[in-house]
């Protein structure tokens, strides 16, 4: 039986706290900087400890975080098995979720990895994307971030008008149209006497910010159109865009966030990954009770599925049937549409990937 040096780590921007042990032995604590030299020292220390203890393999685990996959790449390059765990699939009490202690979190991850290696317990790992997918995600996520910022600026403009008690003219039916933007520009003129000087300065600043974001969004939309013509995505994007409500951005968010479609075996796994299945509660002999959707997995995919599904409500018979049963809770029908649309998109993208064979699978960890 292989002898392991098992490491659990709590990773932060500037440092990483590790807890390690030899199989079921006593755990030890060590902290390292997250700089390049600090990671080299981490790798060197682990290899020395493994050699001293006569361990055959080094297995390392940490939670997925905003730091990306740099540590994973450095560890696998050094022939250290690395596992990145999904925080949403790790069971924690409400108290543990509120209180974050580096050493305790590292110990918890260490115990989870021990259970997997020594007892065969399931490991809540995330999928590791290949390098191209990581780079493509940066482009798509930047576009989504810009949309969120634009929405925030629009809300701030509305708040400036509310504080000044200025209402949109009745002849302007919809906000953010050309007519609406022209009116906002007009009331910034002091001669109109619609706003006082403080409100004028604030509104002018917000309008400049909005115009800048709109221009940046146009640039990123062009970049995404170019990226969608890549051999990896072109055919899948064309097929996905045939679905009502799905455009290039929605298709590219789906393809880059999900990545390798073959990692899902059936539609239940897909729906679970999107977080659009109800949480199930059951205790002892009590009957199971279903709650709100889990919201696990990619929130970005869930968002674009929601936006696409709203455009389908007027024509989709399934939505009408579900909404008719409970007219006061139409959001349930939208969630059902999201689930159906996500599964349909998965089937299409999987078939394209299987037929083209152009999807680069992630590099396996070196053990």
Looking at per-residue pLDDT, the higher value among 344 and 297 belongs to 344
Q: What is the tens place of the pLDDT at every residue in 89-104? A: 777 655 555 555 889 9
Write out pLDDT tens, residues 149-178.
999 999 999 999 999 999 999 999 999 999
Cα(288)–Cα(291) distance, integer angstroms: 10
pLDDT at position 362? 45
Mean pLDDT confidence for 310-333: 85
- With a CB cutoff of 8 Å and minimum separation 6, the contacts of 345 are 240, 243, 246, 251, 254
Report d(CA 80, CA 57) in Å as an integer: 7
Confidence category of residue 293, pLDDT binned at 50, 70, 90: confident
What average pLDDT score do residues 301-323 get? 90
- Averaged pLDDT score across all residues of the chain: 90
Could you tell me the pLDDT band of residue 292, with boundaries at 50, 70 and 90?
confident
Residue 340 or 293, more confident? 340
Q: What is the pLDDT of residues 246-277, one digit of tens each?
A: 999 999 999 999 999 999 999 999 998 898 88
Neighbours of 207 (CB within 10 A): 16
Mean pLDDT of 13-30: 94
pLDDT of 365 reads: 40
Superfamily the domain 4-119 falls into = ATPase, nucleotide binding domain (3.30.420.40)
Residue 183 has pLDDT above 50, yes or no: yes
Mean pLDDT of 16-24: 95
Written in H, E and C, the secondary structure of the chain is CCCEEEEEEEECCCEEEEEEEECCCCCEEEEEECCHHHHHHHHHHHHHHHHHHCCCEEEEEEECCCCCCHHHHHHHHCCCEEEEECHHHCCCCHHHHHCCCHHHHHHHHHHHHHHHHHHCCCCCECCCCCHHHHHHHHHHHHHHHHHHHHHHHHHHHHHHHHHCCCCCCCCCCCCCCHHHHHHHHHCCCHHHCCCCHHHHHHHHHHHHHHHHHHHHHHHHHHHHHHHCCCCCCHHHHHHHCCCCCCCHHHHHHHHHHHCCHHHCCCHHHHHHHHCCCEEEECCCCCCCEEEEECCCCCHHHHHHHHHHHHCCCCCCHHHHHHHHHCHHHHHHHHHHHHHHHHHHHHHHHHHHHHHHCCCCCCCCCCC
Question: What pLDDT digit, counting tens, does each position of 213-246 carry?
Answer: 999 999 999 999 999 999 999 999 999 999 999 9
Residue 312, Cβ neighbours under 10 Å: how many?
Answer: 19
Split at pLDDT 50, 70, 90, the class of 287 is low
Please tell me which of 206-215, 286-295, 328-337 the model is most confident about, judged by mean pLDDT: 206-215
Is residue 345's pLDDT more than 70? yes
Sign of the torsion angle spanned by Cα atoms 33, 123, 81, 75: negative
């Amino acid at each position: 039986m292989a002898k392991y040096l098992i490491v659990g780590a709590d990773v932060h921007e500037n440092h990483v706290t590790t807890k390690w042990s030899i199989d079921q032995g006593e755990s030890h604590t060590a902290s390292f900087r997250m700089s390049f030299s600090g990671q080299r020292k981490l790798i060197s220390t682990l290899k020395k400890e493994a050699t001293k203890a006569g361990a055959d393999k080094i297995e390392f685990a940490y939670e997925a975080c905003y730091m990306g996959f740099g540590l994973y790449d450095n560890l696998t390059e050094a022939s250290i098995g690395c596992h990145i765990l999904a925080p949403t699939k790790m069971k924690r009490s409400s108290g543990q979720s509120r209180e974050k202690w580096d050493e305790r979190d590292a110990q918890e991850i260490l115990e989870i990895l021990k259970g997997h290696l020594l007892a065969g317990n399931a490991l809540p790992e995330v999928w590791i994307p290949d390098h191209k997918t990581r780079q493509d995600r940066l482009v798509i996520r930047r576009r989504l971030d810009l949309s969120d910022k634009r929405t925030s600026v629009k809300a701030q403009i509305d708040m400036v008008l509310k504080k000044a008690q200025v209402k949109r003219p009745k002849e302007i039916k919809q906000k953010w149209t050309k007519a609406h933007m022209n009116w906002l520009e007009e009331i910034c003129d002091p001669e109109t006497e619609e706003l006082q000087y403080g409100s004028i300065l604030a509104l002018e600043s917000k309008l400049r910010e909005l115009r800048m974001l709109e221009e940046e969004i146009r640039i990123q939309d062009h970049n995404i159109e170019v990226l969608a013509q890549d051999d990896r995505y072109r055919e899948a994007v064309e097929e996905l865009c045939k679905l009502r409500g799905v455009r290039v951005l929605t298709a590219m968010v789906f393809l880059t966030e999900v990545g390798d479609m073959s990692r899902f075996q059936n539609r239940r796994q897909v729906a679970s990954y999107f977080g659009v299945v109800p949480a199930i509660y059951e205790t002892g002999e009590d009957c199971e009770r279903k709650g709100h959707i889990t919201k696990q997995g990619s929130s970005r995919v869930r968002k674009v599925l929601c936006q696409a599904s709203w455009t389908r409500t007027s024509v989709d018979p399934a939505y009408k049937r579900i909404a008719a049963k409970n007219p006061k809770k139409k959001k349930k029908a939208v969630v059902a549409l999201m689930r159906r649309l996500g599964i349909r998109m998965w089937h299409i993208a999987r078939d394209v990937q299987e037929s083209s064979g152009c999807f680069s699978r992630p590099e396996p960890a070196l053990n």
